[in-house]
C-alpha cells in the first residue's frame, strides 16, 4: 500500500526549568515532556564543546556509562529529578527493540534491558538517553498511555517503534495522537555504509527514498532517520494504530552539527548523554 508522505512539522521550544536549559515540543494536555541539553545552566565557564564539557561541571552529562566520574553524573541526575514529580525509571539501552512496561516497575528492581518504556500511570517518569539516536515521545489518544523510545538505526530497523505502539495498545487500545522526535543526528550528517541502506530497503523498498548517495565516499549514503520513523508512523494509520490526524513533530535540531548544545557520539565517541523525559500529568 502506498502511504501518503508528509514530513513532520518542526517544533523546538527552548525554555529553562529553574535555570536548566531544555528543549520541548508543542504543549499537549495531559503530557509533560522535554529533552535536556549539554548545558547545566550553572554559573561555570563552558569551553564551547559539549563533548569536552561532558566531563566537567560545565556540562549536563546524564550517562553513567560515558566514562565520566559517577559522582558528577549522579549530581546531574539529582538536579534533573528536582524538575520532575518522581524519579525517572532508567532502562539499559542495547540498540534492540524490547519494550519495558514501567507500570510493573518497583524501586528495588534491577535496571531492565530495553529501548523503550510505556506507562498508563500519571507522574510515572519515563526516560531515554541519546547522543545522536532519535528519542521519540508517543502519546495515546486522551493521554491515557505514554511511550518513550530510543531509536538508533538498529532499533529502528528491528521495529522498536512498532513494538512500542503495539505494547501501548495492549494496555489501552487507542491510537497514537501525538508524536515528538527530539534532538538527533540530521540527514546531512548521518553517513552509513551500503549494508545499512540495504537492510532498510530489504525490509521496505520505500525506504530507498530516504538515503542519498555520498558525493565523496564510495558505497556511503546519508540516511534520514526522521523520515524513516515518520514513514513507519504513517504506515500504521490504516491499521488504526496511529490516528489519521496525529500530530507528528520533530525538533529539527541536529546533535552532530550543534557541537556546543548537544552530545554526539558520531562526532566524538568520548562524550556525554542527554535525555528525553516524559510523563502523564494528573487530571
What is the reported pLDDT for 1? 44
Report how far residue 115's alpha carbon sits from residue 160's, in angstroms, rounded to the nearest whole number: 7
Residue 3 has pLDDT above 60, yes or no: no
- Helix 225-235, helix 160-171: angle, nearest 10: 40
Confidence band (pLDDT; 50, 70, 90) for 41?
confident
Is residue 47 included in any domain, yes or no? yes
Domain that holds residue 39: 9-183+248-280
Tally of structural domains, the chain: 1
CATH number of the domain at 53, please.
3.60.140.10
pLDDT confidence bin for 42, thresholds 50/70/90: confident
pLDDT above 60 (res 4):
no
Choose among 139, 145, 137, 142: nearest CA to 171: 145
pTM of the model as a whole: 0.96
Q: How far is CA 127 from CA 55, 102, 280, in A?
A: 21, 11, 13
For 171-180, write each residue's pLDDT tens digit.
999 999 999 9
Residue 115 belongs to a domain: yes
Q: Is residue 243 part of a domain?
A: no
Query: pLDDT per residue over 121-144, tens digit each?
Result: 999 999 999 999 999 999 999 999
Amino acid at each position: 500500500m502506498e502511504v501518503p508522505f508528509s514530513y513532520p512539522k518542526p517544533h523546538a521550544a527552548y525554555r529553562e526549568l529553574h535555570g536548566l536549559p531544555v528543549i520541548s515540543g508543542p504543549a499537549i494536555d495531559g503530557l509533560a515532556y522535554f529533552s535536556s541539553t549539554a548545558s547545566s545552566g550553572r554559573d561555570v565557564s563552558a569551553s564551547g564543546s559539549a563533548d569536552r564539557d561532558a566531563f566537567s561541571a560545565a556540562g549536563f552529562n546524564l550517562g553513567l556509562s560515558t566514562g565520566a566520574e559517577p559522582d558528577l553524573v549522579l549530581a546531574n541526575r539529582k538536579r534533573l529529578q528536582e524538575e520532575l514529580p518522581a524519579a525517572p525509571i532508567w532502562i539499559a539501552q542495547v540498540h534492540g527493540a524490547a519494550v519495558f512496561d514501567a507500570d510493573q516497575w518497583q524501586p528495588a528492581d534491577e535496571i531492565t534491558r530495553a529501548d523503550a518504556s510505556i506507562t498508563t500511570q500519571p507522574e510515572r517518569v519515563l526516560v531515554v538517553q541519546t547522543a545522536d539516536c532519535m528519542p521519540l515521545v508517543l502519546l495515546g489518544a486522551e493521554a491515557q498511555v505514554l511511550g518513550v523510545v530510543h531509536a538508533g538505526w538498529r532499533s529502528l530497523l528491528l521495529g522498536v517503534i512498532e513494538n512500542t505502539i503495539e505494547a501501548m495498545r495492549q494496555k489501552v487500545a487507542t491510537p497514537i495522537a501525538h508524536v515528538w522526535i527530539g534532538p538527533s543526528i540530521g540527514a546531512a550528517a548521518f553517513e552509513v555504509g551500503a549494508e545499512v541502506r540495504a537492510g532498510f530497503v530489504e525490509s521496505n523498498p520505500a525506504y530507498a527514498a530516504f538515503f542519498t548517495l555520498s558525493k565523496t565516499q564510495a558505497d556511503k549514503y546519508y540516511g534520514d532517520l526522521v523520515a524513516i520513523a515518520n514513514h513507519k508512523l504513517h504506515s500504521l494509520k490504516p491499521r488504526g494504530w496511529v490516528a489519521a490526524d496525529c500530530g507528528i513533530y520533530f525538533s529539527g535540531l541536529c546533535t552532530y552539527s550543534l557541537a556546543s548544545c548537544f552530545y554526539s557520539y558520531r562526532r566524538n565517541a568520548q562524550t556525554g548523554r542527554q535525555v528525553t523525559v516524559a510523563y502523564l500529568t494528573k487530571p
